A and B are shown apart, each in its own frame.
Chain A
């Protein structure tokens, strides 16, 4: 990204101005900031008292699920662990999974899309056919089968696998963009002065497709968070991390869903809200990039 030309600052500022006009985008950003705060504060409860540790901390006076109290603002889970500190830790995991997995799939998708678009022919056909196949497959179920084969996936392997299965959407868009760019005069000029393929790809084409790739990143973040949550909910998450999906699995599997609404509600609300906020930001960014939609939204 440091390859972005200097004058790139102008458009970014302009984009921000446009983004600010969308109330949807602003609300989304506000919610996201709240979640970021939650992730930051997730380090605090265990410092106050070891019993607030989201995974290992058990309140010695409580060993069953209890409703909200002064000691435990959101109540405790079936082992007497504090739900609020689990919820805060879950925010950290969601950001980690969402952003790192989205980032990886964007890099992979951009790279493969550029290669397919730039070289064309056989490479293009193979990559795009592969993209078609992966796009048709239900990602969650594929990862489920992989989770069964490679027992006990760690959170990082889950992140990487999600990234591997989420590149095709990005790469198609980047490929189309590369196709339209590669015959432009500036590429011809670069060729004429003797620039190699790598130089053309990375110095001339990449800066032009990166903004588009980042638009797709917000949507990839949501899908990564949702897939991890669903995987954890089904019991195939990383058993050493407390994610919101994991919390829901505990409510469900320990049969507390009818007894403990104070435990059932928060993790689900968090997953849904963080997805919504990224989604809103994504739509606001779409308006920035697609002027036709922009007019629509202003009515």
Chain B
């Protein structure tokens, strides 16, 4: 199978998955005990007024017709009006997607790179003090309770030492002022981003480290490593050219598999640090019973996860040609 056919097949599969998620969400929303549209209905409204609202909302139509309208609206990008903001949901959410992707991708990529790098060291020094130290500390950081770690970091670095801001993504005064240079504004965002990034990083690098270490120990026992040694290659070349590329493959797969886990963590981190992203928006929308907003935020998160999954698969197919011929 060529790379292109592999790509197309994956995109097709992901499309079907998304369609199923979209449909399930619709039926769940209609099956739930509380009427999602009861927010629009006051107790002192007349029966006719209620009927009018129901007609406007399309609730008098049969279920399958409502479902088709829902699909059509989704394709058009019309996800309804947020109860809380009173604005179209698309407008509310548009700005949040990039914020989430910014925080999420930097922390996932960085923790995977550091995990691979340190896992390599642990595997090479297998059984040494360095190895035990790295293994144990990544076990501990990986099992920390994320919101608590976030609160702890805010308390320590934000409140006690006053090194970093306590919450949010930027200082409004700096961003409003046209005099201040863009570099300074960028630095402001990075300054705000450090603690949430650190939280996600601390929680995630451990699993990559452990996986990299275990696969690399396996790889180091392979015959081709022995051959490389017999050829008289330097240790550095054996690790970097023969062991690491092969051992990295499972780590990349696991990046894909752990994306859902990271997104959970992302939403918690965004909430704790008031980072204006999709995850926080979802949590806030859910607590305010803002169904259209919650629905849209959830679907967008699903899209982010699915697209990221495809990207990881593509990277994998690119790095390991065998996968394309399966």
Binding site for B on A (CB under 8 A): 129, 132-133, 135-142, 144-151, 222, 226-227, 229-230, 233-236, 248, 251-252, 257-258, 261, 264, 267-268, 271-272, 275-276, 279-280, 283, 292-293, 296, 299
Contacts and interface: CB of A to CB of B under 8 A. Distances in A.
Contact of A139 (B147, B155, B260): B260
Interface string B4-34: 0000000000001100110001001100111
Which of B147, B148, B309 has most A Cβ within 10 Å?
Answer: B148
A258 B153 CA distance: 11
A151 B38 CA distance: 14
Contacts of B151: 248, 251-252, 257, 264, 268
Interface stretch (B50-58, B69-77, B230-238, B261-269): B261-269
A148 B289 contact: yes
Contacts of A142: 298
Given A146-B28, A258-B159, A264-B152, A222 B143 contact: yes
Main secondary structure of the interface of A (DSSP, over half): helix
Nearest to A148: B286
Given A144-B283, A148-B289, 14 more contacts: A133-B20, A135-B257, A138-B301, A140-B268, A145-B295, A149-B34, A226-B145, A229-B145, A233-B268, A252-B272, A268-B145, A268-B148, A279-B139, A279-B142
A31 to B, nearest CB: 11
B17 to A, nearest CB: 5
Give the 4 A-B CB pairs with smallest separation, nearest first.
Answer: A299-B127, A268-B148, A149-B32, A140-B264
A138 B217 contact: no
B143 A137 contact: no
A141 B289 contact: no
B245 interface: no
A147 B21 contact: no
A137 B294 contact: no
Nearest to B309: A136
B283 A234 contact: yes
Contact of B155 (A150, A261, A267): A261
Given A147-B286, A299-B126, A139 B148 contact: no
